[in-house]
Amino acid sequence: MTIVDLLERNAKLYGDETALVEINPEQKYAKRITWHEYELVQPTNYNYSRREISWSVFNEKANRFANALIARGIGRKNKVAILLTNGLEWLPIYFGVLKTGAVVVPLNFRYSAEEIKYTLGLSESDILVFGPEFIGRVEEIADDIADRIALLYAGDGCPSFAESYSQFASDAVGSNPGIYLDEDDFAAIYFSSGTTGFPKAILHKHRALMHAAKAEQMHHSQTRGDCFLCIPPLYHTGAKMHWFGSLLSGSKAVLLKGTKPEFIFDAVSREHCTIVWLLVPWAQDILNALDSGELKLEDYELSQWRLMHIGAQPVPQSLIKHWLEYFPNHQYDTNYGLSESAGPGAVHLGVENVRKVGAIGVPGYGWKTKIVGSDGEPVQQGQVGELCLKGAGVMICYFNNPEATAETIKDGWLYTGDMAMQDEEGFIWLVDRKKDVIISGGENLYPVEIENFIMTNDKISDVAVIGLPDDRLGEIAAAIIKLKDGCSSSEEEMNEFFRGLPRYKRPRKIIFADVPRNATGKIEKPLLRKMYGADRLVLAQNKK
C-alpha cells in the first residue's frame, strides 16, 4: 500500500466528510470562487477567508490533474515540481503527480529565482506548477528553462509565459488513472534546508512516505475524531509527514496561513483542533502573549486540544515548563528527523516522557539509532558523537550527487551530522550540528547547550550562538540575542547572567539583534556567519 491508496480509501469511506480546511485570517471573505473551483463553506461567525474540501473532492482533483499529466506523456520517468504556498490546491496537486507514477518535487517558497532554476535543474524536473506569489521569480528564469520545463500557473490571471493549471486540468476525467504503484517506486525529491550549505536533492521511495505515516500515527495516536492544525509549509517534510497521520486516520486537518498567537488560538477554538504542531518561535510568541495579557485563555474554546508537539530544532526545557503552567493537561512530544529520513519521527520523546523534556527522545517506530565517534565506532554512553539512523525512511540517495551520498549513507546507516549523547536511561540529547561546534582554546563548545541556558533568561525572546575568529583561542562563542518586546538589557547585565555557565562556555561577544530563521524555524547560522565575518573561519577550517 502507498499513500495514494490511502487517499482513494478515504474518498470511498469518508467521501462527504471534510478532509482539508484552509484559513487565511488576513484575507477578507470573498464570495466569488474563481480558478480553483473548490467548495466554499463560510460559517456565519467568520469574517475572513475559509475554504474546505471533502475527501471525495480532494481525490477527484488529484485524479483530474493526474489524467491531464498522463495525457501530456508524464509518467514514471518524469518529475514535476511544486512551488506554492500552503492552500487547498497544494495536496491535490502533490497527489496528482504521485498518481501518474512520476516523482513529485516540492520547492521551498523562499527560493530566489536562481535557486529555483538550480533546484529544477538538479532534480531534472519536466514541469513546474507555481502560484501567484512567484510570478516575478519564475519570469526571471522562464527564457532559460523554457526549452526543457513546462510552466503551469495555479492562479487567476495567467502570465503569458505559462499555461493555466485550471485549463490544463479542466477537461481531464476525475476517475482513478489506474497506474499501479508499490512501495519500491520512486516518489519524491525533497531538498535539504540549506542550513549547512546549498540545498541537496533527497530522493525517497513510496516506502519512506508510507513509513512516515505509520510512525506519525503510532507516536500521536490519531483517530478519525482528531483535527490537526498545520501551520508550517507543506513543501517541507516536517509538515507533510505530520499530516500523513491525518491521512492514515481519515481525519480533518486545517491549513492556517499566519502564525500570530491569536490566529492559532482562533483556529484551534473554531475548528476544534486537537493536535497542533508548533515551532519554537511560535510557541514562545504564544507564551509571551499570554504573559502580557494580550491573549486570554478564557476567550477561546481550547478544552479539546490534547497534544502540542514541536520539531525542527532543539527545544529549551524552560519553554515546555512554562507551557505546561498554562496547559497542565496537554500531552507534549518532540520529534526529531531530517528530510533525509522522510521527516520527523526517527527519534521522538514520547508523550509519556515529559519528565525528560530537553532530550529528543528514543528511537521512533521502526527506527534504530547509534552514536559514533570520528572513527565510526559507537561511543560509550554519556559521550558525544555523531547520531546515525537506520530505518525504512532513510533516503535512497542525494540525487545526482554520489559523493555526498557516500559520505552520508554508510552500510545502510544515515549519518545525520548532528552531535548527540545518550544518557543512562537511553534517552538521546542533541548537542549540536557537527559543523556548528565551536573549538575555543582546544575545548569543544556546543552552541545548542549554551543557547538553552541563555533562553532561561526571562528577558530573552530568541538567541543564536556562533563561533567568531579569535587570534588567541582560534574561535570564541558569540551570542546574538533578541530581547522580548518592552525589555532592555546591556552587555554588563548579560555577562553577569553568563556567570551561571562554566567560564570556558561563556560567550565572549554579545550582539543584540534579530535571529534569522528559515521557514521551518531553524536558525540560519550560515547567514549569521556571513553577517558577522565567521564564514571566513569556517572556510579556513574546511580546507584543513
Could you list the beta-strand ranges (E) of 487-532.
Answer: 509-512
Spatial separation of the C-alpha atoms in residues 307 and 65, rounded to whole Å: 35
Per-run averaged pLDDT (10 residues), the chain, 544 residues: 96 96 80 49 67 95 97 96 95 98 94 92 97 96 95 94 93 94 97 68 97 95 96 89 96 94 96 93 90 95 95 76 94 91 92 89 96 93 94 96 95 92 93 75 76 90 88 81 92 93 88 83 80 56 38
Find, among 46, 194, 180, the residue nearest to 111 by Cα. 194
Find, among 263, 338, 383, 370, the residue nearest to 23 by Cα. 263
Spatial separation of the C-alpha atoms in residues 257 and 266, rounded to whole Å: 12
Spatial separation of the C-alpha atoms in residues 482 and 513, rounded to whole Å: 5
Letter for the amino acid at 184?
A: D
Structural domains present in the chain: 3-12+53-216 (3.40.50.12780), 443-543 (3.30.300.30)
The three grid cell numbers given for residue 320, joined into one nine-digit string: 515546555
Q: Which helix (H) or strand (E) holds 444?
A: strand 443-445
Q: Which helix (H) or strand (E) holds 113?
A: helix 113-123
Which pLDDT score is estimated for 236? 86
Which pLDDT score is estimated for 33? 43
Spatial separation of the C-alpha atoms in residues 281 and 259, rounded to whole Å: 10
411: left (phi over 0), alpha (psi -120 to 50) or beta: left
For 2-33, write each residue's pLDDT tens digit. Answer: 999 999 999 999 999 999 999 998 876 554 44
Spatial separation of the C-alpha atoms in residues 103 and 207, rounded to whole Å: 13
What is the distance in angstroms between the CA of the first residue and the CA of the last residue of the chain?
48
How many C-beta atoms lie closer than 10 Å to residue 12's C-beta? 11
Kindly give, in sequence order, each residue whose CB lies less than 8 Å from that of residue 378, ignoring residues fewer than 6 positions away: 370, 371, 372, 385
Does residue 372 sit in helix, strand or coil?
strand
Does residue 350 sit in helix, strand or coil?
coil
Q: Which helix (H) or strand (E) holds 478?
A: strand 474-483
Q: What are phi and psi of 209, to 5 degrees?
A: -65, -40
Spatial separation of the C-alpha atoms in residues 174 and 21, rounded to whole Å: 21
Spatial separation of the C-alpha atoms in residues 257 and 362, rounded to whole Å: 32
- Beta-bridge partners for 387: 371
DSSP assigned state of 505: G
The three grid cell numbers given for residue 463, joined into one nine-digit string: 538567541
Could you list the beta-strand ranges (E) of 178-241.
Answer: 186-191, 201-205, 227-230
Which pLDDT score is estimated for 49? 82
Which pLDDT score is estimated for 35? 41
Which pLDDT score is estimated for 314? 66
Q: What's the pTM?
A: 0.83
Which pLDDT score is estimated for 313? 65
